[in-house]
Amino acid sequence: MKIRCPLCKKMTTWEENPNRPFCSEICRRLDLGAWASGDYRIEGPEEEQTDVEDEQEST
């Protein structure tokens, strides 16, 4: 089965591809890096940011 890499859009095979759904380890790592840096986000209500010091003072 052939699929399109979600990152670079290159066609790749599904079977025996250790990096699926990506075409390569490079695309897989680039996608992981984008999640880690906050480039991708899951929509939801905004949460208030609190400082660690504020939390410690209230306990």
User: How far is residue 50 from each of residues 15, 37, 39, 47, 54, measured CA to CA in Å?
Assistant: 46, 20, 22, 9, 7
State pTM to two decimals: 0.64
Q: What does 13-59 look like in DSSP terms, one character per residue?
A: ESTT-TTTTSSSHHHHHHHHHHHHHTSS-----------HHHHHHT-
CATH superfamily of 1-38: Erythroid Transcription Factor GATA-1, subunit A (3.30.50.10)
Q: At 59, is the pLDDT very low, low, confident or very high (cuts 50, 70, 90)?
A: low
CA distance 5 to 30: 12
Q: What is the pLDDT of residue 55?
A: 58
Tens of pLDDT, residue by residue over 6-55, are 999 999 999 999 999 999 999 999 999 999 998 888 888 877 777 766 55
